[in-house]
Amino acid sequence: MKYFNHEDPDRLEHTFLNAYTTSLYWAITTLVTVGYGDITPYTKVERIYAILYMIICGFVFAFIMGNVTDIIQEYYEEAKKF
């Protein structure tokens, strides 16, 4: 596969690990709704790093949104008392 005339060095090796990391990268990118963008990982190590990064960022985003929701809910509960 070529992307901007750059060949994936791991693409030449058709191993189970390469297929698995590529599939997992696609699944995580789709589920986290990050998008595929202009800059994509080419090697196996880059895909593993991107997968871990997206998972960690997904948890951080969920944590922040949960806290914001909790703050808003507490605000409305206090407003109901008046």
**Domain residue spans in the chain?**
2-81
* Global model pTM greater than 0.95: no
What are 21-69's pLDDT values in tens digits? 888 888 888 888 777 777 788 888 888 998 899 999 999 999 999 999 9
CA 57/CA 33 separation, integer angstroms: 12
The DSSP H or E segment spanning 5 is none
